[in-house]
Structure 1
């Protein structure tokens, strides 16, 4: 019984350190069986220690005390494309073509992710004739805080990419 409790405590601690983690990612990161994780999540949810939400076929898991206002941002930044779109929109309004071009994605892919972000109420869209202009519906400082607090590994990756990009630009200036 002690082993089951320590596994459950380990799962709960990992969820607290990674709020908004997907079920699949939790299984992979902890290297546990699907059935084992399902069982312990069920007990944790019955004990009112975690909450889970299913969106777009993925199950997201949060500690019960998780700050509700961050929940949509956590979900969005857990998807690479949506994270990139939010970062682009934090710079200012963009239309779908601009987003597709900057991220080198198809219009259909961008449209799919924009619908997901709109469902999470993280973007606003305004029609100007046939064109749709998207803008952020979140505080940029909050986005930075969520990335740095709840996804520190992600923050490190972004910082590394920024440094690489700056070195690359600096190298081009010297050519």
Structure 2
């Protein structure tokens, strides 16, 4: 029983220090088996200690004390292309497609799909005109989350790989 409590606490510490972390990251950072992680996530969710955001084949785990309205920004910040776009928009406040594309150095298709997804997630908005520009929906909230979120090197490598095949 005591070992179970220690494992649950270890998993909770990983989640607290890595908001929006995924199942695989928890498994790698704790060294616990898949079944152990799955069991304790289920228990923590039932207790109300964590909140799991499930979409398609992905899960993101958050402390239940965090504002769920920030989930979409945190999830976006865990993906390299999204993070680069948001960082650029934090610096310049608004930019057109060409400026964003040239700054993040991704293909036009990747840039376009990522911008579209960030608009759908209501993280950025379009300023209509010629050319149309993109700006952050809530710059203050995005800056606070950007500054607070620390993504480990392992997460960055995994997210770069995942970013190649999935755009949120």
TM-score range, shorter chain: 0.7 to 0.9
C-alpha contact (below 8 Å) 2:78/2:151 kept by paired residues: no
Matched, 1:94 2:95: yes
- Alpha-carbon offset, residue 12 of structure 1: 1.2
Distance 2:111 2:62 in 1: 27
Q: Which residue of 1 is the match for residue 116 of structure 2? A: 115
Equivalences, count: 153
* Deviation beyond 6 Å, 4+ runs, structure 1: none
Q: Note the alpha carbon deviations across 1:110-145, whole angstroms, 9 max, x for none.
A: 12211221232110024436x542111122x43332
User: In the aligned structure 2, how far is the partner of 1:153 from the partner of 1:75?
Assistant: 14
**RMSD across aligned positions (CA):** 2.3
Structure 1 unaligned residues grouped into runs of 5+: 158-175
* 1:134 aligned residue: 134
Evaluate the alpha carbon distance shift between residue 123 and residue 49 of structure 1 in structure 2; reply closer, same or farther with a 3 A threshold.
same
Structure 1 116/25 Cα, relative in aligned 2: closer, same or farther at 3 Å?
farther
1:41–1:73: structure 2 CA closer, same or farther, 3 Å change rule?
Answer: same
User: Matches of 1:27 and 1:116 in 2, distance apart?
Assistant: 28
TM-score of the superposed pair, with normalisation by structure 1: 0.76
* Greater length-normalized contact order (CA 8 Å, ≥ 6 residues apart): 2
Gaps of 5+ in 2: 157-168
Q: SS of the counterpart of 2:133?
A: strand
Match of 2:145 in 1: 146
